[in-house]
Amino acid sequence: MLQSKRRSWKMMLIAMVAVLTFSVIAGCGKKKTDNAAEGTDSGKVVATYDGGQITEGEFDLEQRIMLILSPEMQQYMQVEDFRQYLIKQQIAYKYLAAKADDKAKEEGAKQAESQLSQMKTQLGDEQFKSMLDAQKVSEQQFKDYMVRIFTVVQGETSKVTDDEIKQQFDKTKDSYTVASVRHILIGFTDAEGKERSKEDALKLAKDVKAKLEGGEDFAKLAKEYSEDPGSKDKGGLYKDTEVSNWVDEFKKAALTLPIDKISDPVQTSYGYHIMRVESRTAKTFKDLTKEQLDTIKNTIGSNKLDEFMKGDLEKKIIKKIDLPKVEASKPSAAPESGTSGTGGSSSPEASTAPAK
């Protein structure tokens, strides 16, 4: 299911650089974009900071690498706020990479090498080279960028303590609860794609609830009435799913409904849901998998990096930024999160299920 919340370019940029999920770029980069340059450097300094500087050519290279990783960023390259944030981010990573200890640098280099190898395997050598050539970026330049990013990520996450991980879990532990939920979605558009008023959707949802309370089979009614293609053929069931996958209203109901009770209509951006929670298991800290612990750790590290950019970077480290002005153009709406570069998904969770 498509996530219901939109990301700003800033959120997209932070997430992309912090996590470096390269799988979304498969098939991209073959076409040379308007921002592609010949890779020359005029030597003009566009930013100075404590311990270093960035030239116009280095910033141009940063933009071209960004377009390799996330082609949808093209629409923001002429937006002044975006350019200012991007160069501040470049300064932050260069500064922190230079300050990183040997262990972080060694681990960053290993992670970059591993990611580079995965990309080549996934894309094939020819397509990988074509992707770099389209933006006039050499493999070494691309690798250096990855080493820098992974070195900083490793350096920041290595500072995260076990107590901080535990505290972060305690703040968000409800999100790790696993539930099996059956639901029937009456959408704000009908099966033919025609808009349905909220009043009509609510009336139909109440009619379905009455049928359920009258003893009719939930799975049978889900197949008949539900407009969630991700679950209707499974009798409306999402089995053993972390509640964090669902939009807030659905998540709250999944966490609070008494087991096996038919809910009143629950409104989300997709329509009205008649829900029944069939099981619910809360997780304790000791139940977390290594992957979940690493995710929490990375989140804390990313938050620390964001705090650094808002604090010391702005106040103490950056001395001057002098980017050449560009003619501002209004960007189109940011793509919905979960869809960037993938061309959409046909998986159950990527259609109309109540995911975030």
**What distance in Å separates the CA atoms of residue 174 and residue 179, rounded to the nearest whole number?**
11
pLDDT in tens, 158-216: 999 999 999 999 999 999 999 999 999 999 998 788 899 999 999 999 999 999 999 99
| Mean of pLDDT values over 257-285 | 97
Q: How far is CA 99 from the centre of its chain?
A: 28
Tell me the pLDDT band of 109, cut-offs 50, 70 and 90.
very high
pLDDT, residue 185, reads: 97
Residue closest to 74 by CA, chosen among 86, 88, 92, 90:
86
Tokens representing 247 are 């939009």
Residues in the chain: 356
Sort 319 into a burial class: Cβ within 10 Å, 0-12 / 13-18 / 19+. exposed
Distances (CA, A) of 70 to 23, 64, 351: 10, 10, 23
Contacts of 100 (CB under 8 A, 6+ apart): 108, 151, 152, 154, 155
Helix, strand, coil % in the chain, rounded to nearest 5: 55, 15, 30
User: Which of the 8 DSSP states describes residue 273?
Assistant: E
Domains and CATH numbers, the chain: 9-164+292-350 (no CATH), 178-281 (3.10.50.40)
Show the CA angle centred on residue 45, arms to residues 12 and 146, nearest 5°. 40
| Mean of pLDDT values over 270-284 | 97
pLDDT, residue 330, reads: 52
* Lowest-pLDDT range of 5-9, 62-66, 118-122, 291-295: 5-9
pLDDT in tens, 14-32: 444 444 433 334 334 444 4
pLDDT, residue 107, reads: 94
Tell me the pLDDT band of 317, cut-offs 50, 70 and 90.
very high
Per-residue pLDDT for 241 more than 50? yes
Its pTM stands at 0.67
Torsion from C-alpha of 38, 42, 44, 45, nearest 10 degrees: 50
Tokens representing 268 are 């989300």
Strands 45-49 and 318-321 turn out to be: antiparallel
Tokens representing 307 are 């705090």
How far apart are the two ends of the chain, measured CA to CA in Å?
8
Distances (CA, A) of 92 to 152, 156, 317: 9, 12, 9
Residue 49: phi and psi, rounded to 5, are -150, 170
Residue 40: phi and psi, rounded to 5, are -80, 155
